[in-house]
Amino acid sequence: MALLTSRFADGLAVGSDLVAAAESAVNQALRGLDKPPDLVCFFVCGDDPDDVSRAGLRAMSMVPGAAVVGCSSTGVIGDGQGVEITPAVSAWAAVLDGARLTTFALDSLRTEEQFVVVGLPERVPDDRVAIMFADPYSFPTDGFVERSGEVLGGLPLIGGLANSLQGRGAVRLFADGKVYTEGAVGVLLGGEVNVGTVVSQGCRPIGPSMAVTGTEDNLLLELAGQPALARLEEIVSALDEDDRDLVAAGLQIGIAIDEYAERHERGDFLIRGVLGIDPDREAVAIGDVVDIGRTVRFQVRDAATADEDLYELLDAHREEFGRVEGALLFACNGRGSAMFGSADHDTTAVSDILGPVGVAGFFSAGEIGPVGGQNHVHGFTASLLVFSSRPPSGQPYDR
């Protein structure tokens, strides 16, 4: 059990009796607070979707006065550790005096030409951030998140794609006493709440930055006036053996966030996967559509790079925002033991840099978070919502 702060606390319980685990995890979090919570988030990993639903209903019933959201997952984070592919429940509770909390449940309707998302509450000028958990099988998350800047008026959106040990059809979402089997749920935070985001994509650039000079849909045809495949082969041939192994394991590409920066280094890119090559057209297929004139740079990812990136970003956040009291952590299910050899890596990093704060979250099938002022869906990323101490008297609250 984690008794961490008076305003933020978390709990974790492991066991096949998910209802009992939910009771234990929520009680642990509540005991860490000095008064009843305003916001509770919880996450459930279990084999049977019906058991997951019952656990969620029990968790929500324990905090009738709070805004409550949660989801199923293939792993949970709480009490300073991660638990993967094992029945468990984690819970996080926060006292947010002066904050305004508005929960929501989203559904999508398909017209002849597009999806229409319904259920989003109206924005208020002092909204700070939106948290969202989505079912990746039923909700058009990529399209919604990419257009969320328009829909939410530039509001940061953070969270993750829910999942289940049983996959499609077994995802469960929870909001204010109700269980949802599709769509998305979340909460808008506004008013006097001091929050910031950290999105660690964990990649390292290789080769030079290059202008895109030829494209077709998601194919890069030319980079800096030369066939894209030839450029890539030239870069790979100059790498040492270790980096060539990383390229073989999963090459990435970064799309520069600021086209006008003098240099583009690690952290200056939105990371997308390299999906394959088209030898006949000497093209490279990537997981996004990039306009001619944009700057890109190939990237690799490994445990050491991802570790360094997360620690540096957390340290920079602490320097900017001061003392941190709590955080929600959404880590890709490809991180944890698969990348670092330990499911505890990301929550340990948070503790190492930010101190003993209330932290919980889940291992997601995709992470949501802002990069360069725009919201995106990511992969192999750690996405955090960080709650800092209140600003000095007379100063405005930061977004």
pLDDT 10s digits, 206-261: 999 999 999 999 999 999 999 999 999 999 999 999 999 989 888 999 998 877 66
What is the structure's pLDDT at 109?
83
pLDDT given for residue 397 in this prediction: 40
**Mean model confidence pLDDT for the chain:** 90
Closest CA to 221 of 297, 268, 284, 160: 284
CA nearest neighbour of 311 among 204, 200, 197: 200
- The pLDDT tens digits for 150-189 are 888 889 999 999 999 998 999 999 998 999 999 999 999 9
What is the C-alpha to C-alpha distance for residues 168 and 166, in angstroms, rounded to an integer? 7
Beta bridge partners of 118: 107
Q: Could you read off the pLDDT of 31-71 as tens digits, one per residue? A: 999 899 999 999 999 999 999 999 999 999 999 999 999 99
What share of the chain in percent tops pLDDT 70?
94
Report d(CA 248, CA 49) in Å as an integer. Answer: 37
* DSSP H stretches of helix in the chain: 18-31, 49-61, 141-146, 148-151, 228-237, 241-250, 303-321, 336-340, 345-354
**CA-to-CA dists, residue 338 to 82, 285, 334, 342, 351, angstroms:** 12, 26, 6, 8, 21
Report CA Rg, the chain.
21
pLDDT score, position 284? 95
Q: How far apart are alpha carbons 40 and 106 in whole angstroms?
A: 19
State whether residue 79 is helix, strand or coil: coil
Q: Are strands 115-118 and 324-332 parallel, antiparallel or unpaired?
A: unpaired
pLDDT value of residue 333: 92
Residue 395's pLDDT band (boundaries 50, 70, 90)? Answer: very low
Q: In whole angstroms, what is the distance from residue 97 CA to residue 398 CA?
A: 16
Tell whether the model's pLDDT for residue 101 goes beyond 90.
Answer: yes
Q: In the structure encoding, which two tokens stand for residue 174, read together?
A: 């929870």
The confidence score (pLDDT) of residue 226 equals 95
DSSP code per residue over 285-330: EESS---TT-EEEEEE--HHHHHHHHHHHHHHHHHHH-SEEEEEEE
pLDDT of residue 386: 95
Q: How far is CA 206 from CA 133, 235, 345, 378, in A?
A: 33, 7, 25, 20
